[in-house]
A and B are shown apart, each in its own frame.
Chain A
């Protein structure tokens, strides 16, 4: 079974803090993704990576950065957390970027609250 793990299930941070969310997958997937999910807005793509050290902006990259130094690990960084970044953050990974039917496997999510 594919396993995608996220470093924390719940996180509480203060405005202005630098926040690191980590994601690890154990299936040797090339692609990894970071989403945020908010009520009424659904899942929105923040960043994705299709290889080590490669990254591409998603739909809402502002205020976020990412790092992928190893194939199995993809980190999301909030440089200076703000209250509007309070959300559920979901990491996903997938195989075969070249085929259109690649399935994304999601982690359990991190519920981040910024006070």
Chain B
């Protein structure tokens, strides 16, 4: 069964600190992995998309890593800001071009950045 699991479920950090969110997946065949940021009461916004051949991808203070062998990804947030408080969702696309392609959504990690 295709699954995406995220940890921790929730996290509280102080402003200025770094943090790392984890995503483990069992999805076959793997196509790509995305991280979305969702502010409370808003729709998700894409942060990064990584394909099988990409190990690291950065978007400002956000850096995503992918280990396709262990089927793990992480999202590292550097020098956190209050505006980073949100839910971070890991999404894996299964399948290849055509009708078999499908997104498997994780439940998200809820991050609170306190002053």
Chain B interface residue bracket vs A: 20 to 34
Q: How large is the interface on A (under 10, 10 to 19, 20 to 34, 35 or more residues)?
A: 20 to 34
Taking the nearest CB of chain A, how far is it from the CB of B108, in angstroms? 7
Contact with B along A21-44 (1 / 0, CB 8 A): 000000000000000000011111
- Residue B41 CB within 8 A of the other chain: yes
Stretch at the interface among A66-74, A77-85, A92-100: A92-100
Other-chain contact of B49, A43, A101, A109 (Cβ < 8 Å): A101
Interface residues of B in 27-66 (CB under 8 A from A): 31-32, 34, 41-46, 49, 51
User: In the assembled complex, how far is the CB of residue B62 from the closest CB belonging to chain A, in whole angstroms?
Assistant: 15
Chain B residues in contact with chain A, CB under 8 A?
31-32, 34, 41-46, 49, 51, 89, 93, 96-97, 99, 101, 103, 105-108
